[in-house]
A = this chain, B = another copy of it.
Amino acid sequence: MSLTHFTPEGDAHMVDVTDKSVTTRTAIARGQVVMAQHVIDLIKSGQAKKGDVLSVAQLAGIMGAKRTADLIPLCHPLPLSKVSVQLELNDRGVAIEATVKTTGQTGVEMEALTAVNIAALTVYDMVKAVQKDMQITDIRLVFKDGGKSGRFAAEE
């Protein structure tokens, strides 16, 4: 078995998808920012106000999805037909889920994962002044559909 992002000669390349069929593709990714209870409380208290940690991070995640091919060297640039990012407070901190769709020749797992990562970094940025040992963790693909490799649903 070998890695498709390298040629037999060992060169990194952007895989040729010219002959792959154009299908509707969906990917859902999740992740978690782990923080102390007092930080969770601080974020919760801000939700009553106009500004809100979670909605800033939501927007950053959506915009991040659109930058995926700029950031990940061997990712194909492709139009996105839907991006949504949900953040909610749970007892460990902030849970993030991103859903991305396209109609194209490659999947959008990286776009969904990038959205989660950028949203998580943005949460971190906004509360880092009050806790220095937070963690961004459990970032993974939970669902994928469309394309030749078919449907994938993580066991959670």
Contacts and interface: CB of A to CB of B under 8 A. Distances in A.
Contacts of A75: 125
A74 interface: yes
A36 interface: no
Interface string A4-21: 111101111111111000
Given A82-B18, A132-B152, A5 B69 contact: no
A89 interface: no
Main secondary structure of the interface of A (DSSP, over half): mixed
A21 to B, nearest CB: 11
Given A12-B51, A56-B59, A62-B73, A136 B121 contact: no
Contact of A50 (B11, B42, B120, B124): B11
Contact of A72 (B60, B70, B81, B114): B60
Contact of A14 (B9, B83, B136): B83
Given A126-B3, A135-B139, A10 B50 contact: yes
Contact of A70 (B4, B46, B66, B114): B66
Given A82-B14, A110-B125, A73 B56 contact: yes
Contacts of A63: 63, 70-71, 73
